[in-house]
Amino acid sequence: MLPWGAQLDISMEIPQEFQKTVSTMYYLWMCSTLALLLNFLACLASFCVETSNGSGFGLSILWVLLFTPCSFVCWYRPMYKAFRSDSSFNFFVFFFIFFAQDVLFVLQAIGIPGWGFSGWITALVVLKFSPAVAVLMLLVALLFTGIAVLGIVMLKRIHSLYRRTGASFQKAQQEFAAGVFSNPAVRTAAANAAAGAAENAFRAP
């Protein structure tokens, strides 16, 4: 049992040749969550020594509450489903969202002041007020940097694996269309729309 009721069993559901990749991505998600929690503590410490850093502290709370569940649902689960069922559509969802996540990882490591990330720039700014807090923020920045590097490496690795599966954008479109029209609610709505259009056509003079 994983977060938010997700029941994922890598050893049973994922082909053996992809299990290491899927496990590594899960550890990456866990590390990113840990980094956000440590980032919150670092921003709290920064706020305690310099009250003008209140906006960054407030945003650090938002990032923990927002990114922790959203990252799991929006990029880890599509990646998991993609490897489990060889789904081109889920691969495309993963690539699109995880690319944005990698950009965010880099921004977290940089640490633009006021954005709520304890990156390199923010740590150097806080160094003027409190060396101890700056050391904590530098450790968080180092963790963010490691996560950003691993995220980029894993994105390239998964893209390489994806290309070897013979998947394509056309296949993703077909899967999306099949998924939409296999939905009973969609089929019912389409049938009602077609029936209404036919009835209006017969009534027209």
| 69-79 confidence digits (pLDDT tens) | 999 999 999 99
- The count of structural domains within the chain is 2
Residue 173 shares a structural domain with residue 95: no
Q: What is the pTM of this model?
A: 0.79
Residue 155 shares a structural domain with residue 195: no
Most confident of 60-64, 87-91, 158-162, 167-171: 60-64
- Is the distance from CB of 31 to CB of 142 less than 8 angstroms? no
Residue 163 shares a structural domain with residue 84: yes
For 195, the token pair is 């029936």
Angle among Cα 194, 197, 198 to the nearest 5 degrees reads: 85
Percent of the chain at pLDDT > 90 equals 63
- Is the distance from CB of 105 to CB of 123 less than 8 angstroms? no
Residues in the chain: 205
Residue 193 shares a structural domain with residue 138: no
Residue 75 shares a structural domain with residue 113: yes
Please return the burial class of 10, using the count of CB atoms within 10 Å of its CB with bins 0-12, 13-18 and 19+.
middle
Residue 151 shares a structural domain with residue 173: no
195: containing domain? 168-205
